[in-house]
Amino acid sequence: MRHMINYALLIALVMALLMTGYDAYLNPNQLFVSEAGIEWQMIWQTFFSWFMPLAISLAVGAALGYWLFRVIKKGRS
C-alpha cells in the first residue's frame, strides 16, 4: 500500500509542477513575472494550490483502490 500512496504523491508532484510551470509561462496579468522580477510567493502559492488537493485525493484514491483490490482478491480465495 505504501508504494501506491508514494506513486500517488509522485503523480501529484509532477502534475503540480507542470501546471505551475504552465501558469508561470502564460503569466496572466503579470502575476508570476513583473518588472520587479519573478514573484516566487505567487509561484509557491500556485504550486501548493495544485499539489495539496491532488495529493490528498490521489492518496485516498490509492488507499481505497488497494483496499478494494484486497477485498476482491480475498473473496476469490
Euclidean distance between CA atoms 61 and 31, whole angstroms: 33
The pLDDT of residue 74: 86
The pLDDT of residue 2: 81
Please give the torsion angle defined by the CA atoms of residues 22, 23, 26 and 30, in that order, rounded to the nearest 10 degrees.
Answer: -150
Give residues with Cβ within 8 angstroms of 23, minimum separation 6: 32, 46
Buried b (16+ CB within 10 A) or exposed e, 43-57: beebbeebbeebbee
User: What is the per-residue pLDDT across 9-64, written as a single tens digit (0 to 9) for each?
Assistant: 999 999 999 999 999 999 988 999 989 999 999 999 999 999 999 999 999 999 99
Amino acid, single-letter form, for residue 40: W
User: What is the per-residue pLDDT across 49-76, written as a single tens digit (0 to 9) for each?
Assistant: 999 999 999 999 999 999 999 999 888 8
The pLDDT of residue 68: 92
